[in-house]
Structure 1
Amino acid sequence: MNKKKIIAFGEPLIRLDRVHNEQLFLPQSFNSYFGGSEANVAIGLSGFGHKVSFVTGVPHNQIGENYIRYLNAMQVDTSNVKQKEGRLGVYYTQQGFSVRPSSVIYDRGFSVFSQLNYTPEEVKNILSGCTWFHFSGITAALGETVQNNLLLFLKECKKTNITVSCDLNYRSKLWSVSEAKQVLGKLMSYTDVCIGLEPLPCKDTDNTYLLNLKDEQEILLRMQEIREQYGIEHVIHTIRHYFQSDSNEYSAYILNSQGFHKSREFFTSIVDRVGSGDSFVAGLIHGLLNNESNCNVSLLNFAVANGVYKCTIKGDNMCISEEVIKKLVKEPFLDIER
């Protein structure tokens, strides 16, 4: 068991997923899953044996209690989960099929988490003994109150030499490119590990620019821009090639003081893509915490394999051992285990 303390700070969410790839029409039935980007990362890291705490807020009702129980079952520490009157954020997913893309609708306004306030003393106590702090752009998009909370945590991390990772996770349905650049650009000065490129090098009016990057030299240039502008040690960019909506090829790049490296490509059919990026992040953090940054290709291969494995699992997150993913890296095509 890795005794290094990791903190994930973010909004807890419930996903309502339309059954059988059907469209969002009423009347209808949904499958429900507990998730949220940072919660997914925390659960993934717990599966690798890390000591992880999720810092968040949930409603003071049965839904909030059930969310806490779920995290506890996944061996994620919930001692810093606040319970208040209010609601849990919700998002709806409609799974695509063949040429029909998947889609998401957010319903996150006025959630408990988005209205929490932390004091500097609280932040100091929460971060005591912490080695790593993780957040995402999905959380930063919630508004000024959450952004101010994030700054409190990030400034304390900087002061106490805690490593900070951010998955930029740009979502055009949550905020504009210009707003996201302004907010995330400010937070990047406290960040050591940046996962993703959008929206930082994008033009203010363009939210598809980096999605369409295919040239390796252009990818390197954009990663260099971010690394040099914000003084970030590790910049990571993932690439997915989709073969219709139900299969993809997944790879990743890393740029750091040891150079520019690419993983190998992993192919998978997709049961559920949601949370696969968070699983990639969990695999990446796991590798960096194990001091594998001096073996960048192995680090990336493990992280990508973790993301690919999640594509085969229904729900927002997974709790899988390191041994399972290492086996996938070594033997990508597995026979039945008997």
Structure 2
Amino acid sequence: MSKVVTFGEIMLRLAPPGFLRFSQTNNFDVVYGGGESNVAVSLANYGVSVDFVTRLPNNDIGQCAMMEMRKRGVGVDKIVYGGDRLGIYFLETGAVSRGSKVVYDRAHSAIAEVESGMIDWDSVFEGVEWFHWTGITPAISQGAADVCLEAVKAASAKGITISTDLNYRAKLWNYGGDREAIMTELTSYCDIILGNEEDAEKHFGIHPEGLDVHKHGHDVKAEAFLSVCKQMMEKFPRAKKVITTLRGSISASHNTWAGVLYDGSKMYETRQYQITDIVDRVGGGDSFMGGLIYGLLKYPEDDQNALDFAVAASCLKHTIKGDANLATIAEVEKLMGGDASGRVAR
């Protein structure tokens, strides 16, 4: 199967145990994760050859982040070192009607201070057939945006398939960069675009025609997002597929989950899953992207099967503590087949 490269930030996640609030806890659980590193872990878990590229501080914490990737089977030899610190985010896990909270402490992280020329993309992309980035990376700093642009240009010149998860983050983009201009240029190089209605609206001013999703709560219909997919393809003619995840938030503990894929002529839709008693929803979109890349590589002529795999994989991620999805192919395919019993495997 093809070799994949992902590029972005990996952070130290600190979270109170269980459902404790920040003000209640005396200790934090430690996890390493980030959008592109989570995708890399999913792919490695499915047996795909994948390298994660980032910039880490050359200290013990940076080494711990690197070792977490290595432990999961992700290639780490293209990581560059420099800077003084790893970015941190604090997570307070919500429940029922209380939503989760995230507090970022990632200013002046090693990747935030990355600069053009620090990464040898010609070497990174040797033998590579797929490159993935997310909208989080250019939101970190102008330097990170510049290096991401270097990457997509180099990948495009080599004929590498490029994918993105648009991933709008309201608490980022605070360095003064022109978000729409930066994201438009970067996305123009992409063959595969994943994003929900908020991503499309915030980055490009695109929204579902005739629908206010904020007023429809958890009752989201796939047909309503066809207009978003079509508008995205009009704006980005290189794109071969536009994919939207459909999350309905009944409560912090109960979501509905489905997906839509549009290939320019046909819209594919998955079944809607009911995800109750959520263990950890962080990384849900990343697990979808990891499953989608794997599905498109394994089933290149079967978009429906690829989409079904992505949605089932991300459903299982909601049952796994931490940022990354550790579900197996067998578990994903079992859920795809309709078995959601959760019976003990003996």
TM interval, shorter chain, is: over 0.9
Corresponding residue number in structure 2 for 1:200: 200
What are the superposed Cα offsets for residues 167-224 of structure 1, whole Å, 9 maximum, x if unpaired? 0111111138994323211111101111104333449899996666735443111110
Corresponding residue number in structure 2 for 1:302: 309
Taking the aligned partners of 1:115 and 1:21, their CA distance within structure 2 comes to 34
CA contact (8 A) 1:41 1:279 kept: yes
What are the superposed Cα offsets for residues 50-107 of structure 1, whole Å, 9 maximum, x if unpaired? 0000000111111111111111111100001112241000011111111111111111
CA contact (8 A) 2:96 2:253 kept: yes
Q: Match of 1:321, as an amino acid?
A: T
TM-score scaled by length of structure 1: 0.92
Shift of 1:139: 1.0
Report the secondary structure of 2:140's partner residue.
coil
CA contact (8 A) 1:178 1:205 kept: no
Report the secondary structure of 1:226's partner residue.
helix
Distance 1:207 1:139, change over 3 A: farther
Could you tell me which runs of 5 or more consecutive residues in structure 1 were left unpaired when the two chains were aligned.
none
Shift of 1:118: 4.1
Q: Match of 2:345, as an amino acid?
A: E
Corresponding residue number in structure 2 for 1:186: 185
Q: Residues 141-290 of structure 1 correspond to what in structure 2 (within 5 A)?
A: 141-175=139-173, 179-197=178-196, 198-202=198-202, 214-231=220-237, 232-269=239-276, 270-290=278-298
Shift of 1:240: 1.2
Report the secondary structure of 1:240's partner residue.
strand
Q: Match of 2:242, as an amino acid?
A: V
Greater mean deviation of Cα atoms: 190-199 or 94-103: 190-199
What are the superposed Cα offsets for residues 148-185 of structure 1, whole Å, 9 maximum, x if unpaired? 10111111111111011100111111138994323211
Could you tell me which runs of 5 or more consecutive residues in structure 2 were left unpaired when the two chains were aligned.
none
Taking the aligned partners of 1:191 and 1:122, their CA distance within structure 2 comes to 20
Corresponding residue number in structure 2 for 1:83: 81
What are the superposed Cα offsets for residues 214-246 of structure 1, whole Å, 9 maximum, x if unpaired? 354431111100111111111111111223211
Q: Match of 1:151, as an amino acid?
A: L
Report the secondary structure of 2:229's partner residue.
helix
Corresponding residue number in structure 1 for 2:110: 112
TM-score scaled by length of structure 2: 0.90
Q: Percent identity?
A: 30
Alignment RMSD (CA, Å): 2.4
Q: Match of 1:265, as an amino acid?
A: Q
Report the secondary structure of 1:113's partner residue.
coil
Distance 1:98 1:121, change over 3 A: closer
Q: Which has the higher strand share?
A: 1
Taking the aligned partners of 1:225 and 1:249, their CA distance within structure 2 comes to 25
CA contact (8 A) 1:172 1:207 kept: no
